[in-house]
Amino acid sequence: MDYQNIIFQIKDNIARITLNQPEKRNPLSRLTMSEILDALKKSKSDDEARVIVLTGAGEKAFCAGANLTEFTGNSIMESRELFGLYAEVCLAFTSLGKPSIAAVKGLALAGGCGLALYPDLTIATKNAKFGVPEINVGVWPMMVSASMLRAVGRKKTLELMCLGEIIDAQEALSIGLINRVVADDQLEDAVNKIAGQLISKSSAVLKLGIESFNTMSDMEYSKAVMFLREMVTQLMNTEDTKEGVTAFMEKRKPVWKDQ
């Protein structure tokens, strides 16, 4: 697939997806979502890619939300198909089997706020802004609701959605919407450092761990506990877990086989 709205490359074990329409504040259009999905599929299947980083070009916005001209004036079936594409992007991050990071500077609003939440970790600069202001134009942020609820809880999610207020990075950090805040000129270094830490881990253990975590998150407590019992049984029989435990006991660094 030839990309028009994103830049995609895999280098040094990092797959980087960059929304590349900075003059339009990197909107989420049908084409952009299709390209993100294609890049995620390639990242998932390519063994060279051990970490996925999602970011936006320019200084003004990570992603300021949907291209509203595409989201209005459609038939019910056309709208359902379009929002189905957004749902695919959301779910694609939960099935990567590899850790993912959102690197956010500038605005992350509406669907763009959701896009910043979908990766496993979210790192933002001090100038970043987050919000779901759809209510101000008579819309409700339906597609962001599930992810935001899981990140910050019911009360704060409803406050942000009902009031449509935009918050800064420090508040986003305090409510659990993001993981870390860094200086505006340190985002790339911070993301590369975290990516390097992730690359140094066993990819097999990360895959099993992340997939188990995402599956468990939707379960009742008792079912989650029993499911995790089965998963830890599998984990303890992987080559890398055996190597990790042995290396710890022998006081040496483990040598991962990623199996």
pLDDT at res. 1: 81
pLDDT at res. 10: 97
pLDDT per position as a tens digit, 223-251: 999 999 999 999 999 999 999 999 999 99
**Mean predicted lDDT score pLDDT of the chain:** 94
- Read off φ and ψ for residue 193, nearest 5 degrees: -65, -45
Query: What is the number of alpha carbons within 13 Å of residue 11 lying toward its C-beta?
Result: 6
Confidence of residue 100 (pLDDT cuts 50, 70, 90): very high
Which residue from 112, 135, 133 is spatially nearest to 65, judged by alpha carbons?
112
pLDDT per position as a tens digit, 113-129: 999 999 999 999 999 99
Average pLDDT estimate for 59-66 = 93
pLDDT per position as a tens digit, 180-195: 999 999 999 999 999 9
pLDDT per position as a tens digit, 159-177: 999 999 999 999 999 999 9
pLDDT at res. 83: 86
pLDDT at res. 67: 76
Confidence of residue 23 (pLDDT cuts 50, 70, 90): very high
In the predicted model, is pLDDT for residue 69 greater than 80? Answer: no
The Cα-based distances of 92 to 29, 40, 148, 236 in angstroms read 17, 7, 17, 27
pLDDT per position as a tens digit, 82-91: 888 889 999 9
In the predicted model, is pLDDT for residue 134 greater than 80? Answer: yes
Between CA 28 and CA 36 the distance in angstroms is 10
Q: What percent of the chain has pLDDT over 90?
A: 88
pLDDT per position as a tens digit, 202-220: 999 999 999 999 999 989 9
Q: What percent of the chain has pLDDT over 70?
A: 100
Confidence of residue 74 (pLDDT cuts 50, 70, 90): confident
pLDDT at res. 205: 96
Domains of the chain: 6-199 (3.90.226.10), 203-249 (1.10.12)
